[in-house]
Amino acid sequence: MDHLRRRTLKLSDIRMVILDEADEMLNMGFKEDIEEILSLMPSERSYQTILFSATWPSEIMRIAKEFQNDPVTVEIKSAQRTIDTVEQLYYEVPRGKKANALRVLLNHYDPELCMIFANTKKMVDELQGELNKHDIKACALHGDMKQEFRSRVMEQFRSGSMPILIATDVAARGIDVDDVDLVINFDIPQDNEYYIHRIGRTGRAGKKGLAITLISGGRQRNELKNIMRYTKTNIKHHALPTSAQMQAHNRKAYIEGVKLACDEGVTDESMEIANELLAEGIAVENIISALISMTYKNEIIDIEEEEHVKRYAADFEAVTLKFSIGKQDGVKTGNIVAAISEECGISSKAIGRIDVRSNFSLVDVDAAKVDLVLSNMQRAHIRGMEVNVEIDHAPKRKNAGKEKNTRNKMKNEKNRKRRDERKKRNTTGREGKRKKVKKG
């Protein structure tokens, strides 16, 4: 721009003007610069103007109409741009638990090279900090970084010394790495075309790739449905690993790591230490068990919803039923309510307090519907698991369904007493004032 304004760059022999990523230029606030560059071109139009853009907002169309002669639109249909070599999945995550779910999935899939996309620079930095805090090597890339730093980050990513790259859509434009085996959309992309650009980072050169999208809540679920319609692709839903599955995965990975270390051989120093321990009469199995205790960390990452007890019933006499599934199976209160309503054909209003424990759940049901629920839910499936249901014979909460009404009555009674006390004080104060006036 500076050269154009100082006229140190001659434009008389220009034969072609190409503007790449035109939509992104507009998004980044370069509208005036674009218009100024195009307006400075030779007036006789002895050159061709080409605009490349992933999307076509009205402003792009206006610029094309103003600065191009008889423009021709060449469009690649979205259906032709989806990649057959990429498996596409999505996970539903409780609100506020996406960062934890990200760690779970990185541990579960253990990618060689992974790109994670977020919508803001702030989120990119926060995710890098969160992963690094848990000893997961990750680097960040966004528009606030200088070119020298960006080049260093990309070199670390390509070499695998930093196997996870977290980036915004704008910063990731132009990145060309063939060996990315996992792409994770931490945030739903702000534009449907961005989704295609993102997942196109994996499954290259004929290799298989995996693209995962994390969603929380109904709004993001609807946004994902829009993406599926736009790309004409069925993105499959997968359930997050349960606590038991996470433990089994960590255990297997640890055992494989020990086997690999044995195959690679041991150092002289480690063998000397082993012989010293054996010379002291410590059994081999005790040495192994102690070393495992020191090095094996079977961390279970919290991806459960915050609330433990979710619901209170309407005013009905309740019977507590015990379901044979719980937190370790990944079950939520919503899964239980939906299953009972669907299998038994009853309203959710007949379902009261739900207490999800580690390996079972307690559910209060209207006494009038208990037999129906017991018969229909026996051997039914919740989250793909067969369920056993029985009446809970532990000490009952009497009138469990009326707890909320009882609390409300107590609260109303307390408020009534406070109002009576204030009224009494106000009346006493007015009487005292009248007496003083009369005495004077």
325-373 per-position pLDDT tens digit: 998 888 888 788 888 987 888 887 888 888 888 889 999 998 999 999 9
CATH topology agreement for domains 79-238 and 307-428 = no
Cα gap 392→394, rounded to integer Å: 6
Position of tokens 């195009």?
38
Q: Mind listing the pLDDT tens digit for each residue in 225-248?
A: 999 999 888 999 998 888 778 888
Q: Mind listing the pLDDT tens digit for each residue in 62-75?
A: 887 777 878 888 87
pLDDT of residue 307: 39
pLDDT of residue 177: 87
Question: Is the pLDDT confidence value at 440 over 90?
Answer: no
Q: How much is the average pLDDT of 133-152?
A: 88
Q: How much is the average pLDDT of 171-195?
A: 88
Question: Is the pLDDT confidence value at 403 over 50?
Answer: no
Q: In the chain, what percentage of residues exceed pLDDT 90?
A: 31
Task: Annotate 162-201 with b (16+ C-beta within 10 A) or e (fewer).
Answer: bbbbbbbbebbeebeeeebbbbbbbbbbebbbbbbbbbbb
How many CB atoms lie under 10 A from the CB of residue 424? 10
Distance of CA 102 to the CA centre of its chain: 7
Give the CATH fold of the 2-67 domain.
Rossmann fold (3.40.50)
DSSP collapsed to 3 states, the chain: CHHHHCCCCCCCCCCEEEECCHHHHHHCCCHHHHHHHHHCCCCCCCCEEEECCCCCCHHHHHHHHHHCCCCCCCCCCHHHCCCCCEEEEEEECCCCCHHHHHHHHHHHHCCCCEEEECCCHHHHHHHHHHHHHCCCCCEEECCCCCHHHHHHHHHHHHHCCCCEEEECHHHHCCCCCCCCCEEEECCCCCCHHHHHHHHCCCCCCCCCEEEEEEECHHHHHHHHHHHHHHHCCCCEEECCCCHHHHHHHHHHHHHHHHHHHHHHCCCHHHHHHHHHHHHCCCCHHHHHHHHHHHHCCCCCCCCCCCCCECCCCCCCCEEEEEECCCHHHCCCHHHHHHHHHHHHCCCHHHEEEEEECCCCEEEEEEHHHHHHHHHHHCCCEECCEECCEEECCCCCCCCHHHHHHHHHHHHHHHHHHHHHHHHHHHHHHHHHHHHHHHHC
Q: How much is the average pLDDT of 43-70?
A: 77
Q: Please tell me the pTM assigned to this model.
A: 0.56
Q: Are 378 and 388 in contact (CB under 8 A)?
A: yes
pLDDT top residue among 395 and 165: 165
Q: Which two tokens stand for residue 271?
A: 């063998």
Task: Write down the domain spans for the chain.
Answer: 2-67, 79-238, 243-295, 307-428
pLDDT of residue 407: 52
Question: Is the pLDDT confidence value at 77 over 80?
Answer: no
pLDDT of residue 35: 81
Say which CATH architecture domain 79-238 belongs to: 3-Layer(aba) Sandwich (3.40)
Cα gap 262→106, rounded to integer Å: 26
Q: What is the CATH number of domain 307-428?
A: 3.30.70.330
Q: Are 201 and 115 in contact (CB under 8 A)?
A: yes
How many CB atoms lie under 10 A from the CB of residue 19? 19
Burial of 356 from C-beta contacts in 10 A (0-12 / 13-18 / 19+): buried
Question: Is the pLDDT confidence value at 223 over 80?
Answer: yes
CA-nearest of 230, 219, 223, 194 to 115 is: 194
Q: Which two tokens stand for residue 400?
A: 């469990």
Question: Is the pLDDT confidence value at 262 over 90?
Answer: no
- The residues pairing with 381 across neighbouring beta strands, listed in sequence order, are 386
pLDDT of residue 302: 66
